[in-house]
Amino acid sequence: MAILFGATLVIMVVIVAVAVGVGHPSVPSDDVAVIDDSSINVPGLVENGHISKANFNRSLLQTAKQSGVQTVPQPSDPQYKQIKDQTMQTDLQIAWLVGEASRQGLSFTDTQVQQSLQQIKSQFKTQAEYVQARDQAGLTDADVLERAKLQLIQTKIQDNIQNSVGSVSDSDARAFYDANKSQFKQPAKRTIRIIQNKDPHQIDTAYQALRADDSDANWKKVAAQYSTDPTSKDKGGLRTDVVPGSFQQPLDDDIFKAPTGQVQGPVVTSSGSYVFEVISATPEQVQGFDDTAPASTGTSAGKISDQIKSQIKAQQQQEALSSFGADFRDYWTNLTQCASDYVVQGCDNFNGGSPTCDPTKLAPAQPGQSGQGCPAPVFALCQEAQATQGASPTSGQLQCTGSGPTPGAPGSFKPFSTSTGGSPQGPHPAGAATSSSGSLPAGLSGLTPGG
């Protein structure tokens, strides 16, 4: 049995190699591309893996409208190639994504599709606003419904990849902690009362008053009368969580050398003279692996060990997404053959070349404006434009913004790769800025051609 299964596996590998890398179908004269997977069907775009010229021309007009052009430029116009290549790449990306869903056996209920559709529509204040934006983008309700399905596919693929990453072990988290202990240092902190004034005489007067009585009540009185520090003047000179580097020298060093409970000064810097008193002092310390860190920007309160595990897992998830992206691109590129006049990166018969999208040659997003870059891929939030001071009213025009990405130049798109480039961000010490968990690349999140 082992021998038979082994032989079967070899045959399967050979079959896949032939199917993926050798026997490309020819592209019929009325098609722009053929993807060697007859299960791919997207209404109005792909039929049995074929993208017809008629469907492509419809997408071409949508891309033109989304770049501020109401009609497709003539082929002799340099802008035509920019829009054509952008449209071609987007159509391939949509087809690949639908093919990948079939390949992975993904399916969705009508309820899920409708919920995704409502998420798109909910970004508009009214139905009329949605319709206006839809029409402005050259889309139909059926087009938007297909984009809602694409969102479901993207989310499901991302979730599956992220869920495939197992939990991080205590030993891995400990190893990271031990190798990066210096990153978990908490700086020394001081709570102080301080008075600032550029007039040395005023500072001397304040100093004498506080030397005689440094009670909280007197600090409040003296600070209100003599301090020019807007941060602490109305708080009796109180400043909390002061860390090294908070003040100019020599004041900064003096604060961290001074004993607690003693009025110090005057201290002169380029910004003025100061009198201060250290109320409490916390020395520099290293957070322990099992210590609890307070909540801060980008992190929630919890044990250092748990935060490290969470951040390592986020990195592993991003690495899994990047790895999948490489396989995704290779697999679907190998299955894609394009007509000679429509070859772009993503076609197996693409021979390379530099990106062709030149933002300076594209039409403006609004009449009278300068070029706005490569065709915009998505309308996430559209609202009536507000006239600027001295400008004519813009009633009836929409300005559309949203989370959709700025499309990359044709030839530069890398589906499922990290959107920022470089290596995934590693774990940070608790309290530091952290990377978010991995996500699908911005280039696949657009709802309209051109993204």
Q: Is the pLDDT of residue 160 over 70?
A: yes
Q: In this model, does residue 438 exceed pLDDT 60?
A: no
The pair phi, psi for residue 367, each rounded to 5°, is -55, 135
Among all chains, which residue has been given the structure tokens 């693409």?
Answer: 350
Task: Scan for tokens 């938007």, then name that residue.
Answer: 144
Computed from CA positions of residues 51, 448, 134, 64, in that sequence, does the dihedral angle turn out positive or negative? Answer: negative
pLDDT of residue 296: 60
**C-alpha to C-alpha distance for 294 and 397, rounded to whole angstroms:** 48
Task: Give ranges for CATH 3.10.50.40 in the chain.
Answer: 188-283
> Is 60 exceeded by the pLDDT of residue 139?
yes
Which region among 88-102, 114-128, 157-171, 426-440 has the lowest average model confidence (pLDDT)? 426-440
Give the pLDDT score at 300. Answer: 65
Residue 376, pLDDT score: 34
Q: Which amino acid is at 208?
A: Q
pLDDT computed for residue 334 by the predictor = 94
Diameter of the chain measured on Cα atoms:
98
Tell me the backbone φ, ψ of residue 168, rounded to 5 degrees.
-90, 130
314-359 pLDDT, tens per residue?
Answer: 999 999 999 998 999 999 999 999 999 999 999 999 986 444 444 4
CA distances from 347 to 163, 341, 358 (A): 31, 12, 21
Mean pLDDT of the chain: 77
Nearest to 81 by CA among 333, 379, 411, 406: 411
Q: How confident is the model at residue 298 (pLDDT cuts 50, 70, 90)?
A: low
pLDDT in tens, 361-417: 444 444 444 444 443 333 333 343 444 344 433 334 334 443 333 333 333 323 333
pLDDT (tens digit per residue) in 357-371: 444 444 444 444 444
Q: Is 241 left (phi over 0), alpha (psi -120 to 50) or beta?
A: left
Question: Which pLDDT value is given to residue 182?
Answer: 83
Q: What SS3 class is residue 89?
A: helix
pLDDT at 66: 85
pLDDT of residue 58: 93
Query: CA 394 → CA 55, 65, 66, 382, 384, distances in Å?
Result: 33, 18, 18, 14, 8
66 or 274, higher pLDDT: 274
Residue range 188-283, CATH number: 3.10.50.40
Element (H, E) at 303: strand 302-303
Q: What are residue 292's DSSP bridge partners?
A: 303
Is pTM, for the whole model, over 0.75? no
